[in-house]
């Protein structure tokens, strides 16, 4: 696709990802801002669906600081909030037996995910913890290998791991950097018990769909919803799982793999091979989120 304007009439509800689609971790993409503005003019409701490992109000403030005005989208759902809610409600067997002493792996800015939950204590030594909570890397240059000692200790003590962001890599500026999902997946491959929240789980799409219909005061069929994201593994796979259409933009994590082939005869095969790797198929593909 050359632009979102040719698709807008087909959909009544837009789910849009943040990192790699709306912004690059540092600043919004100008083309994306134009899309938000035009969708508002067309009275097309936008609900942001992000694997950000923090509370929605924190993500909203960050977007405002970046330059994405609050009136350009109806609401925002984060994987961090779903993690927070499960920690708070302890409504299933995993959380009921989790314990209350957590060892946090992630940056200071993500601590709002659990600091309001009085029943939990953040411990500084992993051997004192009941479980590990991973929200991200504390610095952007951290490698997976640099977490091995902590993961070995967690496994030694048979600690379950909760991951607030399933993304394994994310765009930050012009770089692709490690994300919490990679740490969690590695721990699981070591034999550790792991639970994560967010895309590609179809549940978070259902939660946002229900919230959107309540906010809009009307039902929106799945075939009138479009998910816009940059990741086959999370955005597109989740859209496939929930049964809604998806638009893959190449301004994010798959750019290096697919932009080389874009608008060439080799593109279809390159996309198909990558899609098979993640078991995900987008409905549309666009270079960036152009209007």
d(CA 232, CA 134): 22
Q: Scanning the structure block, which residue is given the tokens 């994560």?
A: 196
In a domain, 71, yes or no: no
The count of other CB atoms within 10 Å of the CB of residue 123 is: 14
Tell me the pairing of strands 161-163 and 245-249: unpaired
Element (H, E) at 105: strand 101-105
Q: What is the pTM of this model?
A: 0.93
pLDDT at 25: 87
The least confident of 79-83, 103-107, 171-175, 187-191 is 171-175
Does position 171 have pLDDT exceeding 80, yes or no?
A: no
Do 126 and 192 lie in one domain? The reply is yes
% of the chain exceeding 70 in pLDDT: 100
d(CA 38, CA 16): 14
pLDDT at 4: 97
d(CA 20, CA 139): 19
In a domain, 132, yes or no: yes
Choose one of 166, 181, 196: the last residue of a domain: 196
Domain around 17: 4-51+200-286
In a domain, 182, yes or no: yes
Does position 148 have pLDDT exceeding 90, yes or no?
A: yes
Q: How far is CA 161 from CA 55, 233, 252, 278, in A?
A: 19, 21, 27, 23
Choose one of 166, 196, 226: the last residue of a domain: 196
Q: Give the pLDDT band (50/70/90) at residue 71.
A: very high
d(CA 237, CA 249): 14
Higher pLDDT pick, 25 / 202:
202
Does position 107 have pLDDT exceeding 80, yes or no?
A: yes
Q: Looking at residues 188-199, what average pLDDT do you find?
A: 97
Query: CB of 82 within 8 A of CB of 55?
Result: no
For residue 23, give the DSSP letter: B
Number of separate domains in the chain: 2
Tell me the pairing of strands 175-178 and 131-134: unpaired
Q: Looking at residues 122-143, what average pLDDT do you find?
A: 94
Q: Scanning the structure block, which residue is given the tokens 């240059």?
A: 141
Helices first, then strands: H and E counts in the chain: 10, 13
% of the chain exceeding 90 in pLDDT: 89
Region for residue 8 given its phi and psi (left: phi exceeds 0; alpha: psi -120 to 50; beta: otherwise): alpha
| Cα torsion 13, 68, 176, 167: sign | negative
d(CA 77, CA 57): 10
Q: Please write the tens of the pLDDT for every residue from 4-15.
A: 999 999 999 999
CATH code for position 149: 3.40.50.1000
Do 45 and 98 lie in one domain? The reply is no
In a domain, 67, yes or no: no
In a domain, 62, yes or no: no
Tell me the pairing of strands 169-172 and 161-163: unpaired
């Amino acid at each position: 696709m050359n632009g979102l304007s040719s698709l807008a009439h087909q959909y009544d509800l837009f789910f849009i990802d943040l990192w790699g689609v709306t912004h690059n971790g540092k600043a919004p993409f100008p083309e994306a801002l134009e899309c938000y503005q035009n969708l508002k003019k067309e009275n097309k409701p936008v609900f942001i669906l992000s694997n950000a490992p923090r509370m929605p109000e924190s993500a909203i403030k960050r977007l405002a600081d970046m330059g994405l005005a609050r009136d350009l989208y109806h609401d925002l759902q984060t994987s961090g909030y779903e993690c927070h809610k499960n920690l708070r409600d302890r409504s299933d067997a995993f959380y009921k037996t989790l314990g209350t002493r957590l060892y946090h792996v992630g940056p200071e800015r993500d601590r709002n995910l659990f600091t309001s939950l009085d029943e939990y204590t953040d411990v500084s030594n992993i051997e004192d913890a009941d479980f590990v909570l991973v929200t991200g890397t504390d610095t952007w240059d951290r490698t997976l290998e640099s977490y091995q000692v902590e993961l070995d200790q967690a496994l030694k003590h048979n600690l379950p791991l909760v991951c607030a962001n399933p993304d394994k890599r994310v765009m930050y500026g012009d770089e692709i950097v490690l994300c919490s999902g990679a740490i969690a997946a590695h721990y699981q491959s070591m034999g550790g018990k792991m639970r994560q929240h967010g895309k590609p789980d179809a549940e978070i799409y259902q939660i946002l769909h229900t919230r959107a219909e309540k906010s809009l005061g009307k039902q929106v069929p799945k075939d009138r919803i479009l998910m816009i994201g940059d990741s086959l593994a999370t955005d597109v796979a989740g859209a496939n799982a929930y049964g809604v259409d998806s638009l893959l933009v190449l301004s994010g994590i798959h750019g290096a793999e697919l932009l080389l082939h874009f608008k060439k005869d080799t593109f279809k095969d390159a996309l198909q091979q990558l899609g098979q790797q993640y078991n995900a198929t987008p409905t549309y593909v666009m270079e960036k989120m152009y209007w």
